[in-house]
């Protein structure tokens, strides 16, 4: 079966300019975005929001229309953190269906390989275009699985996730085409030179497995998914049982475009499971599976790294993110910025700060000296300003994603001195949503058994240290033992900032300095910020750099005398 060159030629034409712009962006790492982040009708049109919501609602209470080879029966595992009845049942895959699934996944692999990088990237770009056309619908799907507030779901789950996916496509394409497809080798000698014509072909590794998470079903899954696919690998998508819909929509878009272009739709499949099936573990160690991308718990991520040794495994696991507070020239701005970072999506982000170190003697600021308790009060005031009104608060906080988060919040309470208490907020639209403001606990540097591990959710610690040097040392220590995705420092002295940068290099953590305005430590911008480093236990990979894509294909050459 040959793919439809008219169709793929059209995709190539349509997306060429965007690809070129994306390729330029990944080499410059300055600001660029292909997908507008504002859900405003001025950007997306007057009817886009209503149409998207209607499309989302039309999905509810019905079996998912897509098929998965090897599936039997169905599974209904989602539960909106906002209390909306979703009621979508998906084809259920279990261990018994894996032979059929993996056979089907590989069926179209050769044709997909032989289509080459240019066609593959255009097909993938067309998938992104289709997803972008459904971005409002996607935002509702992300909101009602992750608990993110709508605008955040639109941005982090839609526009920004599309940017990250395009970034992964650009890196994959760049990597596959950095060598010429052909070369002539001519070795001078005493007589006739030796001449060989050579062909270099990127070939896929094998089946790729993407294991999604509950909180960022698209943003965290798309880079691996599209990086693997553009490099020629079939992709099996195993969503989190409570966040299936956004990835089911993703798989649907992939299959739709693949089929239109004349490729085998089973190159991308949805492997939904019931909670507790451990399907990802069964899949990950299959010999056919040569790539695994995972976001989730450290326990399972580490298990994958240790057991799926036939595959290249990229994991993003838990971590302990640090803010070192030494001094500031904008105390109010610092407190506001920190408050937003702590509150955003109830701290349910792998990038949210947890450990805030402050010298026990206090800090110098533009408002004069501030004691440890003054700093706590400043953050408390900022949180109150941000979250004092329920209607505004829920747009920042979103909803608590699971019982586990609430249980951790309750368990944390007695572990320190309550500096800012967590309160329940009534959601004006979704009465069943559980909404909580952040808890800030006071600790001292000796309480490492508390702050030395991740407490995922709205729990953070203000930790008194003997000095900023001790704060930096604790930062490096916890990053190397418990991992870290982000770090921030507030300091007015060049020396302290230099020390912080050096500590961040030692810790292998990205550093944000003196954020007091509209940029937050928990946000990373596609095409510019590297999300994660792979240099500490929180993650083995970064979104997105060359290392993230380079091992997703191999170069096979042929050569012949000419």
Cα 453 to the center of its chain, rounded Å: 21
Binding stretches for a copy of itself (CB under 8 A): 27-31, 110, 113, 175, 178-180, 183-187, 189, 194, 196, 198-201, 203, 205, 305-306, 309, 497, 501, 504-506, 508-519, 525, 528-530, 533-535, 542, 545-547, 550-551, 554-561
Q: Cβ of residue 361: shortest distance to a copy of itself, in angstroms?
A: 25
User: CA–CA separation, 489 vs 457, rounded Å?
Assistant: 21
Judged on CB neighbours under 10 Å (0-12, 13-18, 19+), 561 is exposed
- Report yes or no: 146 and 243 within 8 Å, Cβ to Cβ: yes
Judged on CB neighbours under 10 Å (0-12, 13-18, 19+), 389 is exposed
- 178: Cβ contacts below 8 Å, ≥ 6 apart: none
User: CA–CA separation, 488 vs 524, rounded Å?
Assistant: 13
Q: Cβ of residue 553: shortest distance to a copy of itself, in angstroms?
A: 8
Phi–psi pair at 464, nearest 5 degrees: -80, 130
Judged on CB neighbours under 10 Å (0-12, 13-18, 19+), 165 is buried
Give the position of tokens 């439809």.
4
Q: Cβ of residue 94: shortest distance to a copy of itself, in angstroms?
A: 27
Q: Cβ of residue 514: shortest distance to a copy of itself, in angstroms?
A: 6
Q: Cβ of residue 556: shortest distance to a copy of itself, in angstroms?
A: 5
Q: Cβ of residue 306: shortest distance to a copy of itself, in angstroms?
A: 5
According to DSSP, the residues that pair with 439 across neighbouring strands are 459
Helix axes 109-133, 222-230, angle to 10 degrees: 140
Toward a copy of itself, which CB reaches closer, 372 or 475?
475
User: CA–CA separation, 389 vs 277, rounded Å?
Assistant: 42
Strand bridging mode 439-444 / 417-420? antiparallel
Strand bridging mode 289-295 / 207-211? parallel
Q: Cβ of residue 65: shortest distance to a copy of itself, in angstroms?
A: 34
- 402: Cβ contacts below 8 Å, ≥ 6 apart: 81, 214, 242
- 349: Cβ contacts below 8 Å, ≥ 6 apart: 215, 216, 522
Q: Cβ of residue 429: shortest distance to a copy of itself, in angstroms?
A: 27
Q: Cβ of residue 295: shortest distance to a copy of itself, in angstroms?
A: 18
The CA-based angle 159-162-164, given to 5 degrees, is 115
Toward a copy of itself, which CB reaches closer, 469 or 546?
546
Q: Cβ of residue 101: shortest distance to a copy of itself, in angstroms?
A: 20
User: Which stretches within 423-556 are classed as H helix?
Assistant: 448-451, 468-482, 494-507, 546-550
For residue 260, give both structure tokens: 């239109």
Other residues' Cβ atoms within 10 Å of the Cβ of residue 9: 13
User: CA–CA separation, 181 vs 14, rounded Å?
Assistant: 23
Q: Cβ of residue 121: shortest distance to a copy of itself, in angstroms?
A: 17
Toward a copy of itself, which CB reaches closer, 95 or 546?
546
Toward a copy of itself, which CB reaches closer, 189 or 431?
189
Q: Cβ of residue 327: shortest distance to a copy of itself, in angstroms?
A: 15
Toward a copy of itself, which CB reaches closer, 13 or 557?
557
């Amino acid at each position: 079966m040959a793919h439809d060159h008219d169709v793929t030629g059209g995709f190539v034409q349509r997306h060429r300019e965007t690809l070129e712009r994306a390729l330029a962006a990944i080499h410059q790492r300055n600001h660029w975005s292909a997908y507008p982040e504002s859900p405003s009708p001025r950007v997306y049109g007057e009817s886009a929001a209503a149409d998207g919501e209607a499309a989302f609602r039309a999905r509810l209470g019905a079996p998912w229309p897509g098929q998965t080879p090897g599936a039997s029966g169905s599974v209904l595992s989602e539960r909106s953190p906002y209390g909306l009845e979703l009621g979508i049942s998906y084809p259920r895959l279990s261990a018994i269906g894996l032979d059929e699934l993996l056979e089907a996944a590989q069926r179209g692999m050769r044709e997909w390989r032989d289509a080459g990088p240019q066609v593959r990237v255009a097909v993938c770009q067309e998938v992104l275009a289709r997803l972008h056309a459904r971005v409002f619908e996607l935002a509702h799907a992300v909101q009602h699985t992750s608990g993110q507030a709508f605008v955040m779901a639109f941005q982090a789950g839609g526009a920004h996730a599309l940017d990250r996916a395009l970034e992964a496509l650009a890196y994959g394409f760049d990597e596959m085409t950095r060598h010429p497809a052909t070369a002539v080798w001519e070795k001078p000698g005493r007589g006739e030179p030796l001449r060989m014509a050579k062909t270099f072909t990127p070939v896929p590794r094998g089946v790729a497995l993407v294991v999604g998470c509950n909180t960022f079903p698209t943003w965290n899954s798309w880079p691996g998914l599209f990086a693997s696919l553009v490099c020629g690998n079939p992709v099996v998508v195993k969503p989190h049982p409570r966040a299936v819909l956004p990835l089911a929509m993703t798989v649907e878009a992939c299959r739709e475009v693949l089929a239109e272009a004349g490729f085998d739709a089973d190159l991308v499949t949805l492997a939904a499971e019931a909670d507790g099936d451990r399907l990802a573990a069964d899949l990950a160690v299959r010999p056919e599976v040569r790539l695994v991308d995972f976001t989730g718990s450290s326990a399972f991520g580490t298990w994958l790294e240790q057991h799926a040794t036939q595959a290249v495994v990229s994991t993003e696991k838990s971590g302990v993110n640090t803010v070192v507070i030494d001094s500031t020239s904008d105390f109010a701005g610092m407190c506001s910025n920190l408050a937003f970072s702590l509150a955003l999506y109830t701290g349910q982000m792998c990038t949210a700060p947890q450990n805030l170190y402050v010298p026990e003697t206090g800090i110098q600021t533009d408002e004069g000296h501030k004691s440890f308790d003054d700093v706590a009060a400043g953050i408390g005031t900022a949180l109150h300003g941000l979250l004092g009104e329920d209607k505004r608060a829920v747009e920042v906080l979103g909803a608590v994603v699971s019982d586990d988060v609430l249980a951790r919040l309750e368990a944390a309470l007695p572990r320190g001195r309550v500096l800012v208490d967590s309160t329940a907020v009534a959601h004006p639209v979704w009465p069943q949503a559980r909404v909580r403001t952040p808890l800030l606990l006071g600790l001292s540097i000796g309480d490492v058994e508390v702050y030395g591990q991740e407490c995922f959710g709205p729990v953070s610690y203000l930790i008194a240290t003997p000095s900023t040097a001790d704060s930096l040392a604790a930062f490096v220590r916890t990053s190397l033992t418990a991992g870290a995705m982000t770090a921030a420092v507030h300091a007015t002295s060049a020396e302290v900032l230099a020390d912080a940068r050096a500590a961040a290099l030692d810790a292998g953590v990205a550093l944000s300095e003196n954020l007091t305005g509209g940029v937050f430590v928990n946000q990373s911008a596609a095409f510019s910020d590297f999300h994660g480093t792979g240099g500490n236990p929180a993650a083995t990979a970064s979104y997105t750099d060359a290392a993230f894509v380079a091992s997703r294909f191999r170069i096979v050459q042929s050569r012949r005398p000419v």
